[in-house]
A and B are shown apart, each in its own frame.
Chain A
Amino acid sequence: MIRKTVFGATLALLAASAAFTVTPAEAADSASVVKHYAELAEAKYQDSLTTAKALDAAIDALIATPGEATLKAAKEAWIKARVPYQQTEVYRFGNPIVDDWEGKVNAWPLDEGLIDYVDPSYGTESDSNPLYVANVIANPKIKINGEDYDATDITPETLRGLNEAGEIEANVATGYHAIEFLLWGQDLHGTGPGAGERPYTDYDKANCTGGNCDRRAAYLKAASTLLVADLEDMVKAWAPDGEATKNVEADPKAGLTAILTGMGSLSYGELAGERMKLGLLLHDPEEEHDCFSDNTYASHLNDAIGIKSAYTGEYVRVDGTKMTGPSLSELVAAKDKALDTEVRGKLDATLDAMNAMADRAQKVEAYDQMIGEGNTQGNAVVQKAIDGLVDQTKSIERVIAALDLGTVELEGSDSLDNPDAVFK
């Protein structure tokens, strides 16, 4: 009995050590790092798919039995679905396949007047967007660039045709944020407390509020169906023989560049800049990523978790399973131990700042209140997370230099390596 326990503990210990300390041969191998990066992608997109399917089921329940409980359950399912998805965002920027696809699922910001009714304060016209208040749910026939568009039947195809209608990027008809709007409605509280307050009766055909409850339900279901289908595409792309996997594995050195490009671009320009700094500059609640649900803090936090994961090779799946494997961190440590410590320290510092922001969002005030003008304390909390992201990017640049990734070949531009080739 005792022996058995000890044996079991030893096994567990062995398993743990096998999981957390890979052999040096593996660690130093960029091919295995890239392979594991692809495995994590598959797992993260798989988790995004699983939670999106749960959301889809919750939406079915809401449509079948509109009520406070089913609406609340659908909202909770949406918030859960955002967790793994946001952690995949670090796969953008370095992987062309992801970039090509991403707009379908996570485009933002959106002019919600295209989709459904909006508050009169939203205004009625925008020259830049003739579809600003097209309200597809209320109007089966709309005009796009002077041509009739038939939305009598709201199907996934109908929504595809509406996305970026009239070449306007803000005409977002599909993805997480379209669903978010249909669940929460507009957040009319500005930088005050409160999120969107759409009533469940917007889906109640018997006691319909907002009009066209059947079409609203059809729209929500179509958007949810598309989200599931789009995520299925991305899971396939990251399967061992998928296109995205093949792309990163074909040239491990270029694959490492893809990892670091994703980490740096998401940290600095995308998250610190466009999603956070801009809102602070303008103090504009519209500059909030998950603006209907007030879930922005979680969205940002999970981006940061994803960035760290791309470096450490660690990921906790939605079922609690922990994945580990050959990591960029080990590769860096083998070359420059101090640099690895520096990067890990900075990634953790950012996470601390993000967690502090999340804590404040849950206990004190929502993200859109934090960026409000004159809110010195709130502004500072957001600023600290921005500073962390900017600071970690400096170290990411040092990693690029340390791993000698300055000579990655870009197809068709051999001049990059051979500048004199141009000149006879």
Chain B
Amino acid sequence: MTYGGKLRGIPISPLEGGDARQGRGGYFPATFIDRLRYDVVTPLCHSRDISPSRGEIRGSLPPSSSLTCNGFPSEWTGWGGASSRQSMTPAIRRKSIPIFLLPVLSGALLLTPLIAAGGDPIFPTTRSDLNPKDQKRVEAVTRPTTDFSKPEQFELMEGGAATSRAIVNGNAFSHFSANLTFEEEETFKLGNALFTKLWVSAPSSTQASDGLGPLFNARACQSCHLKDGRGHPPEGSADATSMFLRLARPARTDEEREAIADYRKLNFPDATYGEQLQDLAVPGLKSEGRMQISYEEIPVTLAGGEVVHLRKPAYSVAGLSHGPLESDVTVSPRVAPPMIGMGLIQAIHESDILAKADPDDRDGDGISGKPALVRDHRSGELKLGRFGYKAQNATIRDQSASAFAGDMGISTPDNPSSHGDCTKAEAECLAMPTGVQERLGPVEAPDPVMELVTFYSENLAVPARRDLADPTVLKGKQLFQQSGCIACHTPKFVTRRDAGNKAHAFQLIWPYSDFLLHDMGEGLADGQQVGVADGREWRTQPLWGIGLTETVNGHTFFLHDGRARNLTEAILWHGGEAQKARDAFAALSKDDRAALVKFLGSL
């Protein structure tokens, strides 16, 4: 018997018994706001200028050359960014590091750049939330299995107690975490209503809903995140909703290089078109241009003689409204990623992600794994990036606020520019009316819109696995492991005990990602730097729910730009650090390849 029934008012964690969970007062529970603040320990510095083209900086920014944030001097350049890998040479102050860490550090020197010169770790290097006994238990349960004769314990519940057990249909990605309280369920539903809400151009009779654009890619969150799932390339349809082009150029001056090295900038926008190409505009305004794609079919022969065609895309922009892009600006296509399980990802402890980092490949396995360091948009605090194709955002809130601004042109308290991605060169865009209503606040989407949409985005449940005991699926799981896929697609984590939302706390989850950046080779490279990530690096995409893409979205277009038409093609596009695993897959027999793909389909 399958039950959707769940315990209300009682949190259930797979690893922890059910303590009675108290209801919370008010519509927007205080703890909800608290969560958003919980890890904002000390503002490092008030550099708010994460989104360069939007200009508005809250607080003052000290001269960057002398910037010191929590003992973290700007002279230290960190991983990647403008600096090369060879430049990472800050000395470790070993005396400041707990003794039990030394084996880890001396083994790989992984955490070097994460230790400030002043001696304070930027991130905790161990599970500060766990006692030693729990630490051992977590290590045991997250170790990759060696028994492929049957499913692992708890493997069914891919998102821990938050997993949705609803009957699988087109709504499979739209359910809320199964362990929410009734009250949180309401917050989720209000968030959902805003997520599907169509914003309209100002001025409008529905004042609470206007403020769209002036330039935009979509009128509603859901326009791209179709059924909370995966977007797709246009495939013949006229407009490109659910996919767009990011525009960026690298640093040109020392000052700009310094800004990147200090994580204040991820890259720099096109002087005219801003951070992304908006292919739609409000009435009376021209859109910026249209994305154009052409594909070239490339045959690839696999073991046994099977020939698979990969389609290699080429991107360009037609009908640019204000002349060409700057010469050093690159375009990077992005389809909307699925929305499931993000609160759980946010609740993974930093030390668990950093434990897998090996930016200089000191263990010589050909896999690096670079953590993305980014600044929290509101506090300026340095955090571990985990969201977005380049792991450019540390929190779901930051990711959501960026989407409001860039994709829809809606200002939020986090990003108060009501003209969205209009630049100074687009004067007619800046002259358009905004949707700000004095009585509702200084932005188009005033509180509690961001809170609600963020909560919603944190609590879309991961569906339970299907067919996980099927012998072919189990074989595929073994082949997935043996082919080296799990070197980056890390199967399991146990989330932090002190997660901001109890529903996300201490859950055994199966995202199949290490949330680190990897060189994925020339084939997938977009040539666009995003903070720490260079033009060949991408964050490992979580694989949970990937097998339901067709059920939910009616297609199987994968990778950042939807170029792969099925899972096999997606695997074959893997290059760079993933080349070995890709080759191992290509060398499997046809049946074995099918088993591996069937395993992915069961996720």
Contact = CB atoms under 8 A, between A and B. Distances in A.
Interface of A: 93-97, 99-100, 103, 123, 126-130, 145-146, 164, 166-170, 190, 247, 250-251, 254-255, 257-258, 260-261, 264-265, 267-270, 272-274, 277-278, 281-284, 286-287, 390, 393-394, 396-397, 400-401, 405-408, 410-416, 419, 421-424
A396 B167 contact: no
Contacts of B553: 167
Given A284-B208, A406-B20, A273 B189 contact: yes
Nearest to A287: B193
B2 interface: yes
Given A100-B166, A260-B8, A277 B15 contact: no
16 contacts: A99-B166, A126-B219, A128-B198, A167-B226, A169-B222, A247-B2, A257-B7, A258-B3, A273-B185, A281-B208, A284-B206, A406-B20, A408-B3, A408-B7, A413-B154, A422-B141
A94 B6 CA distance: 8
Nearest to B27: A277
A370 to B, nearest CB: 17
A414 B17 CA distance: 11
A421 B166 CA distance: 25
Interface size classification for chain B: 35 or more
B329 interface: no
Q: Which 10 A-B pairs have the closest CB atoms?
A: A128-B223, A273-B186, A269-B185, A412-B156, A397-B9, A146-B236, A415-B14, A423-B137, A167-B226, A269-B186
B13 A145 contact: no
Contacts of A394: 23
B399 interface: no
Contacts of B4: 93-96, 99, 258, 261
Given A96-B4, A412-B464, A419-B15, 17 more contacts: A96-B166, A127-B223, A128-B219, A167-B170, A170-B196, A251-B3, A255-B5, A269-B185, A277-B190, A278-B193, A394-B23, A396-B8, A400-B10, A415-B15, A416-B14, A422-B14, A422-B153
B339 interface: no
Given A268-B182, A394-B23, A412 B222 contact: no
Contacts of B368: none
A283 B429 CA distance: 29
Contact of A405 (B7, B153, B227, B237): B7
Contacts of A146: 234-237
Nearest to A98: B4
B153 A421 contact: yes
A55 B557 CA distance: 44
A164 B153 CA distance: 37
A416 B161 contact: yes
A254 B5 contact: yes
Given A99-B167, A100-B169, A169-B196, A423 B141 contact: yes
Contacts of A261: 4-6, 8
B3 A268 contact: no
B501 to A, nearest CB: 16
A148 to B, nearest CB: 11
B241 interface: yes
Contacts of B217: 127
B183 interface: yes
B219 to A, nearest CB: 5
A264 to B, nearest CB: 4
A127 B219 contact: yes
Interface of B: 1-10, 12-18, 20, 23, 27, 136-137, 140-141, 153-154, 156-157, 161, 163, 165-167, 169-171, 181-183, 185-190, 192-193, 196, 198, 200, 205-206, 208-209, 217-220, 222-223, 226-227, 229, 234-237, 239, 241, 280, 464, 508, 552-554
Given A128-B218, A273-B189, A412 B157 contact: yes
B5 A413 contact: no
A415 B9 contact: no
A274 B219 CA distance: 20
A397 B24 CA distance: 12
B219 A257 contact: no
A343 to B, nearest CB: 14
B554 to A, nearest CB: 7
Nearest to A394: B23
A277 B190 CA distance: 8
B157 A257 contact: no
A268 B186 contact: yes
Contacts of A390: 183
A267 B220 CA distance: 27
Contacts of A393: 182-183
Given A167-B554, A277-B190, A267 B508 contact: no
Contacts of B171: 103
A250 B161 contact: no
A400 B420 CA distance: 47
B196 A265 contact: no
Contact of A128 (B10, B140, B222): B222
A131 B411 CA distance: 28
Nearest to B201: A123
A145 B7 contact: no
Contact of A267 (B17, B169, B182, B188): B182
A401 B9 contact: yes
A236 B19 CA distance: 39
Contacts of A424: 140
A265 B161 CA distance: 18
Contacts of A103: 171
A255 B3 CA distance: 9
Contacts of B188: 269
Contact of B280 (A123, A127, A129, A254): A127
Given A127-B218, A127-B280, A128-B219, A400 B9 contact: yes
Contact of A127 (B14, B193, B241): B241
A371 to B, nearest CB: 12
Contacts of A277: 27, 186, 190
